Amino acid sequence: MLRRRKREEANAPTAWPEPAAAVERPEPPAGARHLVVVVLDSLRYDSWLRAEPKLPSRLGPVERRWSYASWTAPSHYNLLMGLLPHASPTHVYASEYYKADLQRYTERLGVPGIEFKELLPSLFLPSYLRNRLGYQTSAMVSMPVLNQHTPLNRDFDSYTLMPTHNDMAAMLARLSFPDDRPSFHLLNVGETHYPYALAGEDPSEWPRLSGVHGAVRQLGERVDEQRTAFFDMDQMETLRDRQVRALTGLEPGFEQLFDVVPPSTWIILTSDHGELFGEGGYFGHGPIAHDKVFEVPFVEGQVR
């Protein structure tokens, strides 16, 4: 009887405190930095190398990292857990890597002595920043699969699906940094996503390819169009060049970003996942298991 009671107690659910959303936002710690995470949607690591963007190098060297997921929604969930694209280390337990990655937020936020257990039970970075450290939280997203009705929109003071999927400049025009508290901003930038078009361009020569959001919307609808033919290798190479060109075309956006953020802001530039341009017979991302769909660029540092 005693053994059974002990077993039941061991298996009982943990009595977690109230969700962080119920906690009144505190005064922020002195010296806390603004944090801006820019996710260049679908951008491959080697596309970054080919484009050689100049301004991000002010933050530090670009790293080759790996996404935890091969498509947009789960990879953004990982990012919002505070787990950035990983370095795929060998001879290291996952738990040790997670701890080291999370502990870097002490430097990123400029807040010594962070109580990481306060990430529990939500394990959600916006909740922790807003409700434990007093941050203002904001997200602007380009992809409909990340829209404000999804579970990602939790403990954000503002969360906006942008009117068009490729207008980084419009996001930057809406950034705000209050004087009385630090800010966290998530920017999901769509110029580097298919069809790799900069703001104002007309990519109508390329077929409309739906992601999960568009596919679900079309279910049950009558679709009379013929199945879109798969791209040939010449088209694949053209599309790859378009992604490189799109990143090059974002240089004014990077310049505007550095002009808008206050000094000492910590900026992270990365991608949610990579992209396939014909390797192994694949195009795009999603239900794909291939190195190039997980390989992403990663740059971070403090604005001086």
pLDDT digits (tens, 9 = 90+) for 90-106: 999 999 999 999 999 99
- Name the residue type at position 49: L
User: What distance, in Å, lies between the first and last C-alpha atoms of the chain?
Assistant: 65
Q: Tell me, yes or no, whether 10 lies in a domain.
A: no
Residue 164's SS3 state is coil
In a domain, 27, yes or no: no
Put residue 264 in one of left, alpha, beta given phi > 0 → left and psi -120 to 50 → alpha: left
pLDDT for 32-71, tens place per residue?
999 999 999 999 999 999 999 998 988 999 999 999 999 9
Please give the residue range of the domain that contains residue 170.
40-199+233-302
Rounded to two decimals, the pTM is 0.88
State the CATH number of the domain containing residue 50.
3.40.720.10
CA distance 181 to 65: 31
Question: What DSSP designation does 290 have?
Answer: -
Per the domain annotation, does 18 fall within a domain? no
Residue 118 placed within a domain: yes
Q: Answer whether residue 143 is part of any domain.
A: yes
Amino acid at 34: H
Identify whether 121 is preceded by a cis peptide bond (ω within 30 of 0): yes
Q: Average pLDDT in the 62-82 region?
A: 97
The reply to whether 16 falls in a domain is no
Compute the mean pLDDT over every residue in the chain, rounded to the nearest whole number: 89
- The confidence band for 187, taking pLDDT boundaries of 50, 70 and 90, is very high
Residues 142, 194 contacting (CB under 8 angstroms): no
- Domain count for the chain: 1
Give pLDDT tens digits for 222-240.
554 456 789 999 999 999 9
Residues 6+ apart with CB under 8 A from 18: none
Between residues 211 and 25, the one the model is more confident about: 25
Residue 45 placed within a domain:
yes
Is 223 part of any domain?
Answer: no
